[in-house]
Amino acid sequence: MITLLGATKFYPPDQFAINQVNLQIDEGEMIFLMGHSGAGKSTLLKLISGLEEPTRGQVIVDGRNLGQINSKRLPELRRSIGILLQNPWLLNEESVFDNVALPLRIVSCPWRERDKRVRAALKLVGLNPNEMRPPCALSTGEQQRVALARALVIRPKILLADEPTGNLDPELSEQLVDKFMQLNEMGTTMIIATHDRDLANSNEKRTLILEHGRLKSDVVAKPRKECGVTDELLEVESSLSNDSVVISVAAESPVDLKSDNSGSPASKPAAADEFEGKADNPASKVEGSDVDRYL
């Protein structure tokens, strides 16, 4: 779904915001992107969303090489990517409903379809589907969910979130991440940039760590219940051209990642199987009806 090959973003006179990053992200993955302030997290998200062009290397998203894409087709690509920022940037002179409808108004979506999709997106994030109050009448956590609904109303295949929990207390952060989990189980590929180590660690998802623009590590942690009895993490070295990336997998048997030079995780996340109906999880079936309403 997303491939970076030697992707580099250089800002003159001397800043390599992203430096020779190789990365493969499969459809349906949920990824936490971590690193110190200035590590390149936002720049990486901008490269993937097509908001910035790589100085060198390739960024391929959903089969399109962003370095070579016709500028007329870039808006089409951007419409398949939802972006959620730390500050929701909502319009207080408009209702919550109209804020969520904004991306559809921009593309002149017919009003009947627009209303249906706005209601479905608001419902999906747990808000009143006919909320006519302005965003400022809602709590901080609810405002972030309005922004999430606005990002979802375009039905993105990929959701990029840049420090989305930065302004939320731990409880609200957890609620928002639960929503992310639900969306991921419904098939949305997600990358969440965060400096909150606890947030990433507690969710047992693939975690990328950037350091001064370089991909320092790529860690896949699977919950114990999914991999059988295991008491230790297996650390497997995978060489990715110039960068040495450590992939840690909690698994019963060793996974040969050395033959895979792509940097992709050894296995698909369990959530993807659930979405494809391969796991018998009643919770995911409930979400399935949400998918029908939403899609």
- Binding track over 34-63 against ligand ADP, x by CB under 6 A: -x-xxxxxxx--------------------
| Closer CB to ligand ADP, 155 or 212, in the complex | 212
| Closer CB to ligand ADP, 125 or 191, in the complex | 191
160 binds ligand ADP (CB under 6 A): no
Q: How far is the CB of 216 from ligand ADP (least distance, A)?
A: 12
Q: How far is the CB of 245 from ligand ADP (least distance, A)?
A: 18
17 binds ligand ADP (CB under 6 A): yes
20 binds ligand ADP (CB under 6 A): no
Q: How far is the CB of 33 from ligand ADP (least distance, A)?
A: 9
DSSP the chain: -EEEEEEEEEETTTEEEEEEEEEEE-TT-EEEEEESTTSSHHHHHHHHHTSS--SEEEEEETTEETTT--GGGHHHHHTTEEEEESS----TTS-HHHHHHHHHHHTT--HHHHHHHHHHHHHHTTS-TT--S-GGGS-HHHHHHHHHHHHHTT--SEEEEESTTTTS-HHHHHHHHHHHHHHHHTT-EEEEE-S-HHHHHHTT-EEEEEETTEEEEEE----HHHH-S--SPEEEEEEETTEEEEEEE--SS----TT-TT---SS--HHHHHHTT-S--HHHHHHHHHHHHH-
209 binds ligand ADP (CB under 6 A): no
114 binds ligand ADP (CB under 6 A): no
| Closer CB to ligand ADP, 17 or 127, in the complex | 17
| Closer CB to ligand ADP, 100 or 190, in the complex | 190
Of 19-27, 32-40, 65-73, 94-102, which segment contacts ligand ADP by CB under 6 A?
A: 32-40
Q: How far is the CB of 43 from ligand ADP (least distance, A)?
A: 3
Q: How far is the CB of 81 from ligand ADP (least distance, A)?
A: 17
| Closer CB to ligand ADP, 39 or 66, in the complex | 39
Who contacts 244 (Cβ-Cβ below 8 Å, separation ≥6)? Answer: 237
11 binds ligand ADP (CB under 6 A): yes
Q: How far is the CB of 167 from ligand ADP (least distance, A)?
A: 16
Single residue of 1, 8, 10, 15 touching ligand ADP by CB under 6 A: 15
289 binds ligand ADP (CB under 6 A): no
Quick one: 44 exposed, middle or buried, by C-beta within 10 A (0-12, 13-18, 19+)?
Answer: buried
Torsion angle of the four alpha carbons 171, 174, 179, 182, in this order, in degrees rounded to the nearest 10: -140
**Residues engaged in binding ligand ADP (CB under 6 A):** 11, 15, 17, 35, 37-43
